[in-house]
Amino acid sequence: MKRLKTLFRKETLKQDAVAGLVLGVESVPDGLAGGLLAGVNPVYGLYAYMVGTFTGGLFTSSSFMAVQATGAMAIVVADVGAVHSADDPARMLFTLSIVTGIVMLAAGLLKLGSILRFVSNAVMVGFINAVGVNIILGQLDNFTGYVAQGGNRVARAFDLLVHPGQIHLATLTVGIATIVLIIVLERTKLGPLGMVVGIVLGSAVVVMLSWDVAQLRDIADVPNSLPLPMMPLFGQMPALIIPAVSLAFIGLVQGAGISASFPDENGNYPDASRDFVGQGAANIAVGMFQGMPVGGSMSATSLVTNAGARTRLALLIAGAVIAGVTVVFAGAVGYIAMPALAGLLMTVGYRTIKPAQITAVWKTGKTQAVVMGVTFVLTMIIPLQNAVLVGVGISMILYIINESNRATLKRRILDEAGNMRETAPPETIGSHEVVVLQPYGSLFFAAAPVFEDLLPDIDESSEASVVILRLRGRGDIGSTFMDVLRRYAEDLHAANCKLAIITGNEHTDRQLKVTGVARAVGDANIYTSDEWVGKTLRLAYSDALGWISDHTDDDPT
């Protein structure tokens, strides 16, 4: 309560009120369009915007993050068969919102924001641009008046192309006119409100000319009251975990982008994990009050900040404005033409497609281009809830491949003064020499085979030599890498040579013992370094020279 009182400041109230009014009015048709895009009752999209914007404004760390139903999340909802085929699809939708909120809330409380960095830019570019195309293709039915047939949006688009005579001319005219009006009016003083005026004018044509064009009231009743709380279907929650994880992932990725792009009124950037918590709380509230899943909306956040918002009060006002419009103008909202909403969504979808990003990834390299292309194609042909998880999997695999290829090995040569220089490691371990090896890059399991190939070979010329492997700075080394060390130590021992290892901490020492490496190397040949850089290496080097001297055959015969 104290936090809310601090928002009502005289010097910022006017700017916040104007910004909240702009976002609230614009969110009404946008919310209805979001529900339409998700293939559910458009009113549920409106409720999601209302509750999500208000609740997000209360709980997110970011002062300006608008938590609404984004296009990408709506497309995922449209592909969740468990919602659309359920006996009670409405409550199943609300339950999905709550489960999504629980996943987001857990991610925020566990501070899992760092996992997003494992998702490559190529995957995100492929996914987001495919979402833009999906948004456009998904609205062709409402835009043309022909209900196309097909197993997915691409197939239905081809069906439309081969049946041009089935297009309803009046419906198509309203859709095209709405797109033109939105583009033109947004360039006037109306700015973002041009979108609202464009939809109103496009719908007004239908009413004035009495055209036989589908309207919102034909598919849904718009009640002139606020939504009442509704309990979720607790028994169905396990069946919704996979789509909820996909929705949460999309929402969190988009929200993380907002957290990193929009500083608070004090100039500081918000805490991404706390923003996760805020989005989770918003989804739980949305589900309780009959709304579809929501997440941080980049476009809505940009709108409210560009409209002059100074504090989070603008978001609370926006939520209240949506509620007021819903109650007062419910009857008028029902006359919104479906092709007008489709025109709005197709405009949004077109703006989601970023050719510059595609070109940039394409020029980065073949691997990135292939990853982007595969993600794009999968997003177009399989349900998005699965495409999201496949995209994450591709990112993880790509990360592992890149990390494994980064493993390198250098030889360090010490002079009499204790100075060191780095050179390439020898191809083969020679006779009576000390070879100090310093690995760089990743040493986890996927890099172990690469590292093993980099190690100098051991052959018949290898005799009474010592290999010192410096692992200082390595806090955790996997068992796969330990197996490489054990085999190399055994091969050296068989050639009358030995391996010495310099570790960085006691944890690595324990790993060497439990994996059998310490037994193969010998406890006396394991050195734990301290805060003095180079001291332990010089000690191991001196011991190695002494060992070689002891094993040198002084007999010239």
pLDDT at residue number 4: 53
pLDDT of residue 556: 46
Distance CA 166, CA 84 (A): 26
Mean pLDDT of 359-378: 86
* pLDDT value at 404 more than 70: no
List, for residues 290-310, the tens digit of each pLDDT value.
999 999 887 788 878 877 888
Angle at 214 between CA 49 and CA 334, to 5 degrees: 45
- The pLDDT assigned to 118 comes to 64
- Among the ranges 25-29, 65-69, 270-274, which has the highest mean pLDDT value? 65-69
pLDDT tens digits along 315-359: 999 999 999 988 888 888 889 999 998 998 898 888 888 899 899
* pLDDT mean across residues, the chain: 86
Report pLDDT for 288.
96
Q: How far apart are CA 391 and CA 78, in angstroms?
A: 18
Q: Is residue 115 over pLDDT 90?
A: no
pLDDT classification of 72: cutoffs 50, 70, 90: confident
Predicted confidence at residue 8, as pLDDT, reads 63
Q: Is the pLDDT score of 400 beyond 90?
A: no
Q: Residue 170 pLDDT > 50, yes or no?
A: yes
Q: What is the reported pLDDT for 481?
A: 84
Asked whether the beta carbons of 335 and 217 are under 8 A apart, the reply is yes
Q: Look at residue 557 in the predicted model and tell me its pLDDT.
A: 40
Does 475 score more than 70 pLDDT? no
For residue 195, what are the contacts with CB-CB under 8 A and spacing of at least 6?
26, 29, 30, 182, 185, 186, 344, 347
What is the tens place of the pLDDT at every residue in 415-436? 777 688 899 999 999 999 999 9
Q: Which residue has the higher pLDDT, 112 or 194?
A: 194
Task: Give the DSSP per-residue string, 493-540.
Answer: HHTT-EEEEEESSHHHHHHHHHTTHHHHH-GGGEEE--SSTTHHHHHH
pLDDT value of position 555: 43
Higher pLDDT, 260 or 238: 238
Pick the closest to residue 499 from 518, 521, 482 (CA basis): 521
**Neighbouring C-beta atoms of residue 74, cutoff 10 Å:** 29
Can you spell out the DSSP letters for 344-357? HHHHHHHHH--HHH
CA distance 385 to 330: 33
**Tokens 């439309």, located at residue:** 160
pLDDT tens per residue across span 207-252: 998 999 999 888 878 788 889 999 999 999 999 999 999 899 888 8
Per-residue pLDDT, 428: 95
What span, in angstroms and rounded, lies between the C-alpha atoms of 295 and 254? 7
Residue owning tokens 């907002």: 258
pLDDT of residue 284: 96
542's CB contacts (< 8 A; 6+ apart) are none
CATH homologous superfamily, domain 408-550: STAS domain (3.30.750.24)
The domains of the chain are located at 2-399, 408-550
Instruction: Report the distance separating Cα 281 and Cα 508, nearest Å.
Output: 41
509-518 per-residue burial string, b: 16 or more CB within 10 A, e: under 16? bebbeebebb
Closest to 29 (Cα-Cα) out of 89, 69, 79, 67: 69
Give the percent of the chain with pLDDT over 90: 39
Per-residue pLDDT at 206: 92
Q: How far apart are CA 332 and CA 336, in angstroms?
A: 8
* Global confidence as pTM: 0.72
Cα 543 off chain centre by: 51
